[in-house]
Structure 1
């Protein structure tokens, strides 16, 4: 049995950081240590645990079987200590901490401007760090690589808290002179399925809800290209014959900078596919700082729905930006 009285508990922070990042340099950046200091701490922990814990490989620091056994118990213990030592009250005016959100880039274009404004006014010491979802949102939340996920989600596991932040619907976007741009209200489903499609997939999926809906109708579509970021979509569709199905506010943002045509999508997401959902691991539910941050994001979502996109050249949200449709 390990004697805790003779153990430096900071070594557990190093273990958790290396387990999360699989990289000694990034682990050091996460906890404010140099790479040599992280390596030294790992060697001390290896001696204490009588196990290599991490082995260098082509993809970084690969955990041993013993390290994988320790991962969640150590992570839960560190979270319990952090919650116990945090002050009961949370004062955003004086607090200094970082909230990490795993999300897609269209959130940065639509919701983050409101979040940034609130933080500037109410919490000058608070930082917000966004990270890509990379197809492993729930794993990131479990492993504390992110505090929150923010995106349309379906079938959220019970271990996560959730809060709907904003509603949106999907539209089709294409270049102004695309053959399907002659449709102003809705593209016929057969013409939509026959088109060449660009798929934006922040999670790295090869197919989306559109393909599931088309399959139920006995149809399929040709996905010519997939990308991870919404921001690249307008450049790709304006220089090709592809069309893309995106949230309406994302399309509205593109109208401000690109000559695109927007028309309602003939395919809607399933009822379980909820737009603008903020999710977090339930271990954060009663933490004062996180209660405040969840409320702040909800206020930002309310403002987005009420006032639309926050830009100097404001356009109404959704399909009210009709100049893009002609």
Structure 2
């Protein structure tokens, strides 16, 4: 068996050209070598493979490949092509029509709907059969390791939840509004702070806590509210609101999808908007597929209602 540790890459490149040209002088010209230098490389290759590799043609013009050389030619060409692709400075362009790839995207249902719907539409409309999107719920305690190992390609969510070791890009600012069912006994009059605090609220909490973002905002004004229900997913809120007199404060972009079921109102106090971002691991910075994925989100974001 050939010990490749004794083989330098230029020597294999020379063999590839020699087998293609079957002529020492022409091979030397293509590699910008002198004819004696090319002959010396052929001698080294013959010793390395213990085979003549190329022998003079009977007609005296050019050379003929030996059976051993013919066996080497195809796998050698394929190996050099793969190596060339691996060390290219610029990654090959990503074509969603032909790509064989599954993107793993972490984000809660609210962030995924607001930021990724355009990508889902793009993949459904023009992506090839081997281009797939796998959405999963973030596991905060495991997220850094999952992204480092490539188990998650992209994180979508609020900027304040993005780990510091990731690269990120802000995408969308979304204002908050309060939602209630159609026909709510409160009516549709504008909210004041007393009315808001007197209502009974649902909060979205992945850990079952009844304290949420709005409670911190109210505390700055010395106020509290009643929160009898906490749910883990945003999509559970609209049917619960429609069936009760509970209310909920949510991003307006999310509530826009339920305008036929719910009435929404400006909040009675100023609160910071939800700033949504994309995040990825630094090792994926030059990944052409992931760059395409980010571009799809960024292209769709400016047209999103806020």
- 1:129 lines up with 2:134 in the alignment: yes
Classify 1:122/1:248 alpha carbon distance in 2 versus 1 (closer, same or farther; 3 Å): same
TM-score by length of 1: 0.59
Deviation at 1:214, TM superposition (A): 1.0
Please name the residue that 2:92 is paired with. Answer: 89
- 1:283 lines up with 2:283 in the alignment: yes
- Aligned with residue 262 of structure 1, among 250, 261, 264: 264
- Aligned with residue 220 of structure 2, among 206, 216, 219: 216
Please name the residue that 2:182 is paired with. Answer: 176
User: 2:256 and 2:141 mapped to 1: Cα distance?
Assistant: 28
User: 1:284 and 1:129 mapped to 2: Cα distance?
Assistant: 18
What SS class does the counterpart of residue 104 from structure 2 fall into? strand
Rg comparison, structure with higher value = 2
Classify 1:134/1:172 alpha carbon distance in 2 versus 1 (closer, same or farther; 3 Å): farther
- 1:252 lines up with 2:256 in the alignment: yes
Paired residues of 1:170 and 1:245 also in contact (CA < 8 A): yes
Deviation at 1:103, TM superposition (A): 1.4
Classify 1:119/1:243 alpha carbon distance in 2 versus 1 (closer, same or farther; 3 Å): same
User: 1:98 and 1:144 mapped to 2: Cα distance?
Assistant: 11
Paired residues of 2:202 and 2:247 also in contact (CA < 8 A): yes
User: 2:281 and 2:216 mapped to 1: Cα distance?
Assistant: 28
* Deviation sequence 1:223-262 (CA, Å, 0-9, x none): 1111111111111112222110111121110124x2x211
What SS class does the counterpart of residue 278 from structure 1 fall into? strand
TM-score by length of 2: 0.63
Matched residue count: 218
Q: 5+ unaligned residues in a row in structure 1: which ranges? A: 1-82, 306-316, 319-326
Paired residues of 2:201 and 2:228 also in contact (CA < 8 A): yes
User: 1:228 and 1:163 mapped to 2: Cα distance?
Assistant: 26
User: 1:159 and 1:96 mapped to 2: Cα distance?
Assistant: 28
Q: 5+ unaligned residues in a row in structure 2: which ranges? A: 1-84
Please name the residue that 2:81 is paired with. Answer: none
Q: Return 225-234 or 115-124, whichever deviates more.
A: 115-124
